[in-house]
Amino acid sequence: MTIRYFQFQSGFGVPNPSPFCMKGEILLNMAGLDYQTEIIEDPRKAPRGKLPYLVDGETTITDTALIRRYLEEKHDIDFDGGLTPQQRATGHAMARMIEERLYWVTVYSRWIDSRNWPTIKDFWFGTLPPVIRTLIPMLAQKQVKAGLQAQGLGRHDPPDIYAFGAADLAALSNHLGDHEFMFGDKPSSLDAIAYPIIVNSLITALPSPLLDAAQSKGNFAGYVERCTALWFPDHA
């Protein structure tokens, strides 16, 4: 039975505007598994109210960390095969940096920064009926603000928020160096997390200091090109 993978629609010239949706699909590609993609416009209809999620027969997996663990256990896959214990530890720590802070800077740049909120609002809600086209985006943005406050990043001033993001991008760039992938000439689980956040940070339709910081890293363009050609050749 083919795996069914549920995610957001593509957009902004990247495979998916959700780094987590990209991560899950990359893991499926790295595992060499056949899967069928299905698009959901309203994440409230998803299990646990978020995307992506995976359905394999009678099993539903609702988080990319759990998707990774499921694929590793069921198919005996080691996404970090060949890495030393120290490299595995570094990859784990950098993944947490990306998913627990840099991702939230990306969210802030889109949903809160006044330069990008109109673009995001039109992309996600522009096709709604006129009666609710104003109300739903307001409620969604309010929910995102609450999430940023709870996470802690939203309590800071914009310059500091973007400085956090720039520091994380600099760490990724320095770690990548002149390698093809994050740990050399072979992709690992860190690339499944780093590439999505980097390519999403480089969306020129969403200008911010985060975009400026990403564009300043000379090794990102080649890295994105390699990863896109490998996992999303239709977008290359």
CATH of the domain at 117: 1.20.1050.10
Claim to verify: residue 63 and residue 109 sit in the same structural domain: no
Residues in the chain: 236
- Count of domains for the chain: 2
Q: Which residue do the tokens 């720590």 mark?
A: 93
- Cα–Cα distance between 116 and 112 in angstroms, integer? 8
Q: What is the pTM of this model?
A: 0.96
> What 3-state class would DSSP assign to 109?
helix
Asked if 188 and 146 count as a contact pair (C-beta separation under 8 A), the reply is no
Least confident piece of the model among 33-37, 132-136, 180-184, 208-212: 132-136
Q: What local confidence, expressed as pLDDT, does residue 235 receive?
A: 87
Q: What is the mean pLDDT of residues 96-102?
A: 98
> Do 59 and 39 belong together in one domain?
yes
Range of the domain at 54: 3-75
Task: Give CA–CA dist 8/17, Å, rounded.
Answer: 8
Average pLDDT over residues 174-192: 98
- Specify whether 111 is located in the same domain as 200: yes
* 146 confidence band (pLDDT: 50, 70, 90): very high
- Residue, of 43 and 81, whose pLDDT is higher: 81
Tell me which residue has tokens 């994105």.
224
Do 16 and 209 meet the contact criterion of CB atoms below 8 Å apart? no
The pLDDT of residue 145: 98
pLDDT, mean of residues 11-23: 97
Pick from 141, 98, 151: nearest CA to 116: 141
List CB contacts of 26: < 8 A, sequence separation 6 or more: 191, 192, 195, 196, 231
Q: Verify that 130 and 217 share a domain, yes or no.
A: yes
* Mean pLDDT value across residues 78-105: 98
Verify that 62 and 93 share a domain, yes or no.
Answer: no
DSSP, res 228:
H
Last residue of a domain, one of 55, 75, 95: 75
Where a domain ends, among 51, 75, 99? 75
Nearest 5°: the CA angle 189, 193, 198 is: 135
Average pLDDT of the residues in 48-54:
94
Domain boundary among 75, 106, 131: 75
State the pLDDT at residue 90.
98
The per-residue pLDDT for 45 is 86
Tell me: pLDDT of 56 over 90: yes
pLDDT the model gives residue 137: 95
Question: Token pair for residue 19?
Answer: 């780094």
User: What is the percentage of the chain residues whose pLDDT exceeds 90?
Assistant: 93
pLDDT of residue 131: 85
**3-class secondary-structure state, position 37:** strand
The reply to whether 80 falls in a domain is: no
Q: Check pLDDT > 80 for residue 149.
A: yes
pLDDT of residue 43: 86
What's the rounded mean pLDDT across residues 210-235? 97
Contact of 94 with 194, CB cutoff 8 Å: yes
Q: What rounded mean pLDDT belongs to the chain?
A: 96
